[in-house]
Chains A and B, each alone.
Chain A
């Protein structure tokens, strides 16, 4: 059965509409707006759930002329992700009112959260490359607003800017990759569906072959990987995620663990059937396992519970990327299943961290302990989800980790990767040991001794407890009966992401296999090493202190600070308030770009040179240029204005000789008017003489450069002119009488064929005259308190307010001349 367009669009649009209406909700409901959000999320969830089991593409026309449509593709993988977003969204909206109680900026908070949910559902369902990109960047924008929720807090603003820079920057790489993909897709699936990802995924092999033929396979793979890697916080661009923990905890749970950061993973899974191959394995398995290990180590070094969870999130994202990186079916199983498991346990853990921070008043790991007495329900929830995170059987995290081990072992069977065949499993185990360590550490907050200086810990309200409890319950269900989860959703997600999907089975292993051995080593070493956690923690923390460049943050700060300092210096240099500086830079840059463009395009080629003009035209132009020269060399304003007129009138004669009588008439009128206006104004302005030899030489060089560019441009463009009249010119000539009813083609063109252009021109002239009137008359109206000006107005009795900001008043003689000028005009 194919999905229903109206329902799919409604599921995506509903959160956006609700976001727009948030101010209204807030006025009615106040802090209870969160519950309205839950309702919206639940509705979207219901709408999407009604499409469960369907598969197919539906399209809403958007830009038909470019074959861009708002296409939505519904399949198991899309539904898994979209339902997760809506489901966890419902819980987050239920959690938020109690957590955000008494905070300001709640309208913005809820609006951004709702818009984010709409974007994430959009990114999950979109089948059009442009729509994917737009929703993708929308999630980054919402994340920016939400991370920077505490607008008065510098660290929150810093974190928001960092997340924005990294994820939006990565999104631009993605855009280029998508455009390259669409270029190739135009040949394979037809130009009408060049942006249709669903159509491309229907013939993945043909797409891959075409990409390789065009030599675009590696560029596309790399660009998409950068986009996905920045979004999903892969090393070395992982550092924005721990900083993003400046956001309120519901945001961290929703965006920065369960959904937004998984968009990259989701997209990797989406394009996996098309791009999978040895390069894919090498790129994503390496990237994912590196991230998994590095971030797990960093999580052990964390001192703050949210920081620990943030690094752990990046580490688990690495696990999913690595899973999808392995080309065997186990790889896809890892990615899909762990996406679900991680969303369940990590969102719950963040919500638990929020409860701890809210009720105990601190997030420092050292200050917390023995919380089971104060928060018994929370402790039970934590036990389930933390052990799941550690990958301890029979909790659900164990199954997907087991699949990763299997995929890592299998890798060398599918490809000849030499040493890497050993390295991948070894690294997977090594990274997982740290996962066990930090998971146990998080769990130990609830056990052991209660620190003496930990104050009174309140009982959390029930709306804070329900969301993590629901998640923990779901995690427990998956733990007890993983086959159920597989049957319900994971299998259909697998079919969209695996190359050769077959029926998937998971469960507690009953016989020995390499993967079982790896799990045993991981858990065993993890448990044995746990007593040494403190020493490990200190040891890892000491590394970046001694060698700062090893931290990614250090690179970010150095580069961003360096760039903004450079930018400031550069701005002072080119943007110094002097008109001539601006003109110099603009003109020089334009000339350089134009000439470089001509050279790069090979446009400058020796062609036949023609005079094309009669002797008369040549002479007239010569006089015009001489007139221009006289303007430049004139030492008085009067001489300059008069010689400028010579130039103008010569151009009018040129128009006559070039068979353009209308232009000549207009030019003559305009030149006369300009001459009169110049003479009127110049009389009021004193001469200013300036002779600076050094500057003149520099200016002359630039002028010659500009002139040469213009010369070359005219040569290049006139030689590329089509012979004879163009189609459009012939059209205007032929249709002037039948359609316009006039014999003067230029006139008919202006007032008839292109009447709106002329209307625009009239608007410009009208604006110019209004501005001129304002500039001259408003001063005389006396908003500045000059006696002479007031005298003109004939209203001496009124005392206009004095403008204190005017510090540089003209001298008396200047005032007199101004008054005279006002009368003349």
Chain B
């Protein structure tokens, strides 16, 4: 079954992130990256299926018994968890890199920086 609402949300976030990615202000570019990685995480989770939240659907078992209820897909959750942490590392690094760029060049305008490279 297709997930129209999720698709719309992911699409909208991708569009907004892309728009920011194309700005001249490096800080806004970093924001764009952050938004796109959030959207990718939502997409990844949606691939496992979004079950209505119940006590059973949380992928934490009640005890060490034999009964294993059908839960939300634990694999995508593990993947997204990894992705969130890596996204954090990337955002922090990109931000500090922009800060350093500003220290070195006195500007965060990527067009000016690009012209300077040439």
Could you tell me which A residues sit within 8 Å of B by CB distance? Answer: 576-580, 583-584, 587, 607-614, 617-618, 621-622, 624-625, 628-629, 631-632, 637, 640, 644, 647-648, 651, 654-663, 666-667, 670, 673-674, 677-678, 681-682, 684-685, 688, 690, 695, 699-700, 702-704, 706-715, 717-719, 721, 724-726, 728-729, 732-734, 736-737, 743-746, 749-750, 754, 757-758, 761, 764-765, 767-769, 771-772, 775-776, 779, 808, 810-811, 814, 818, 821
Contact A618 B5 (CB under 8 A): yes
A707 touches B108 (CB 8 A): no
Q: Which B residues, 7 to 47, have Cβ-Cβ distances below 8 Å to chain A? A: 7-25, 27-29, 31, 34-35, 38-39, 41-43, 45-47
Q: Would B18 and A659 count as touching, CB distance under 8 A?
A: no
Contact B88 A821 (CB under 8 A): no
On whether A719 and B2 interact (CB within 8 A), knowing A625-B12, A648-B38, A808-B105, the answer reads: yes
Contact B81 A662 (CB under 8 A): yes
> Given contacts A578-B114, A718-B3, are A660 and B34 in contact (CB under 8 A)?
no
13 pairs, CB–CB < 8 Å, chain A vs chain B = A614-B52, A659-B54, A661-B58, A699-B19, A703-B16, A718-B2, A725-B71, A729-B48, A736-B61, A743-B63, A746-B78, A749-B78, A775-B97
Chain B stretch 42-70: residues in CB contact (< 8 A) with chain A? 42-43, 45-54, 57-64, 68, 70
* Tally of B interface residues using CB under 8 Å: 98
Residue numbers in A under 8 Å from B49 (CB-CB): 721
Binding site for A on B (CB under 8 A): 1-25, 27-29, 31, 34-35, 38-39, 41-43, 45-54, 57-64, 68, 70-75, 77-78, 80-82, 84-93, 95-100, 102-111, 113-118
CB contact under 8 A between A621 and B18, given known A607-B2, A660-B72: no
- A-B pairs with beta carbons under 8 A, tally: 323
Q: Specify which of B9, B14, B15, B61 is in contact with A737 (CB 8 Å cutoff).
A: B61
Contacts of B90 in A (CB 8 A): 768
Considering residues B54, B88, B109, which has the most beta carbons from chain A within 10 angstroms of its beta carbon? B88
CA distance A248 to B80 in the complex (A): 60
The answer, among B24, B34, B115, for a CB contact under 8 Å with A580, is: B24
A631, closest chain B residue (CB): B31
The interface centre, meaning the residue of A607, A611, A746, A776 with most chain B CB atoms within 10 A of its CB, is A746
Question: Is A744 within 8 A of B48, CB to CB?
Answer: no
Contact B16 A733 (CB under 8 A): no
From the candidates A608, A656, A681, A757, name the one contacting B82 in the complex (CB within 8 A). A757
With A651-B38, A711-B7, A711-B10: A658-B24 Cβ-Cβ less than 8 Å: no
CB pair A688–B108 under 8 Å, yes or no, is: yes
Closest chain B residue to A630, Cβ basis: B16
Q: Is the CB of A707 within 8 A of B81?
A: no
Question: Is B25 within 8 A of A690, CB to CB?
Answer: yes
Residues on the A chain within 8 Å of B60, using CB: 661, 743-746
Partner of A617, one of B10, B50, B81, B114: B50
User: Distance in Å from the Cβ of A697 to the closest Cβ of chain B?
Assistant: 11
Is A659 a contact partner of B1 (Cβ separation < 8 A)? no
B89 touches A768 (CB 8 A): yes
Q: Once the chains bind, are B53 and A657 in contact (CB under 8 Å)?
A: yes
A746 surroundings in chain B (CB, below 8 A)? 59-60, 74, 77-78, 81
Since A690-B23, A714-B46 are in contact, a sample of 13 more A-B pairs with Cβ atoms closer than 8 Å, ordered by chain A residue number, is: A625-B16, A659-B54, A660-B59, A660-B77, A673-B88, A674-B88, A678-B95, A718-B47, A724-B70, A734-B68, A746-B59, A746-B74, A818-B103
What is the bound-complex CA distance between A746 and B82, given in angstroms?
Answer: 11
* Contact, CB under 8 Å: A715 / B13: no
Q: Which residue of A lies closest to B23 (CB)?
A: A690
Q: Of the candidates A584, A685, A700, which one forms a contact with B108 in the assembled complex, judged by CB atoms under 8 Å apart?
A: A685
Residues in A whose Cβ lies below 8 Å from that of B22: 580, 583-584, 695, 699, 702-703
Contact indicator A685/B99 (Cβ below 8 Å):
yes
Cβ–Cβ contact A624 & B13, under 8 A: yes
The 10 A-B pairs at the shortest CB distance, nearest first, are namely A707-B15, A711-B11, A768-B89, A714-B7, A710-B14, A578-B114, A745-B74, A610-B1, A621-B9, A743-B61
Residues A580 and B31 in contact in the complex (CB < 8 Å), given A677-B95, A758-B82: no
- How far is the CB of B80 from the nearest CB of chain A, in Å? 6
Q: Chain B contact residues: over half helix, strand or loop, or mixed? A: helix
Known: A674-B34, A745-B61. A658 touches B4 (CB 8 A): no
Q: Check B27–A624 contact: CB distance below 8 A.
A: no
Residues of B within 8 A of A655 (CB): 45
Chain A residues with CB under 8 Å of B4's CB are: 609-612, 715
Contact B74 A710 (CB under 8 A): no
B38 to chain A, nearest CB (A): 5
A772 to B95, CA, bound (A): 9
- A583 adjacent to B21 (CB under 8 Å): yes
Check if B100 sits within 8 Å of A659, measured CB to CB: no
B6 & A613 in contact (Cβ 8 Å cutoff) = yes
Whole-angstrom CA separation of A631 from B63 in the bound complex: 44
**B88: nearest residue on chain A (CB-CB)?**
A670
Chain A proximity of B92: nearest CB distance (Å): 6
* A714 and B10 contact, CB distance less than 8 A: yes
User: What separation, in Å, do the CA atoms of A729 and B71 have in the docked complex?
Assistant: 9
Give bound CA distance, A621 to B4, whole Å. 12
Contact A608 B2, beta carbon cutoff 8 Å:
yes
Chain A residues, CB < 8 A from B87 = 670
Are B16's CB and A628's CB within 8 A?
Answer: yes
Known A612-B6, A768-B90; judge A700-B19 contact (CB<8 A).
yes
- Asked whether B82 lies within 8 Å of A761 as measured between CB atoms, the reply is yes
Q: Are A729 and B100 in contact (CB under 8 A)?
A: no
- CB atoms of B62 and A612 under 8 A apart: no
Nearest A residue to B75 by beta-carbon distance? A729
* A721 smallest CB distance to B (angstroms): 7
A580-B24, A631-B16 are known contacts. Are A617 and B5 too (CB-CB below 8 A)?
A: yes
Q: How far is the CB of B111 from chain A (nearest CB, A)?
A: 6
Residue among B43, B74, B84, B116 with max Cβ neighbours from chain A (10 Å): B74
In the assembled complex, which residues on chain B have CB atoms less than 8 Å from the CB atom of A612?
1-6, 50
CA distance A190 to B74 in the complex (A): 40
User: What is the distance, in angstroms, from B15's C-beta to the closest C-beta of chain A?
Assistant: 3
Instruction: Name the contact of A610 in the complex, choosing from B3, B91, B99 (C-beta under 8 A).
Output: B3
- List of B residues within 8 angstroms of A764 by Cβ: 86, 89
Is B99 a contact partner of A681 (Cβ separation < 8 A)? yes
Q: From A579, which residue of chain B is reached at the shortest CB distance? A: B110
Give the chain A neighbours of B8 by CB distance below 8 A.
711
Expressed in whole angstroms, the Cα–Cα distance for A643 and B49 within the complex equals 28
Bound complex: CA A667 to CA B38 (Å): 10
A677-B95, A761-B86 known; A728 and B75 CB under 8 Å?
yes
Given A583-B22, A612-B5, A711-B11: A725 and B97 within 8 A (CB)?
no
Residues of A within 8 A of B86 (CB): 761, 764-765
Instruction: Kindly report which residue of chain B lies nearest to residue A761, judged by CB atoms.
Output: B82
Contacting pair B6 A621 (CB below 8 A): yes
Q: Tell whether, in the assembled complex, residue A725 and residue B59 are in contact, meaning their CB atoms are under 8 Å apart.
A: no
Chain A contacts for B17, CB-based, 8 A: 628
Inter-subunit contact A659/B72 (CB<8 Å) = yes
Q: Please indicate the chain B residues that have their CB under 8 angstroms from the CB of A579 in the complex.
A: 29, 110, 113-114
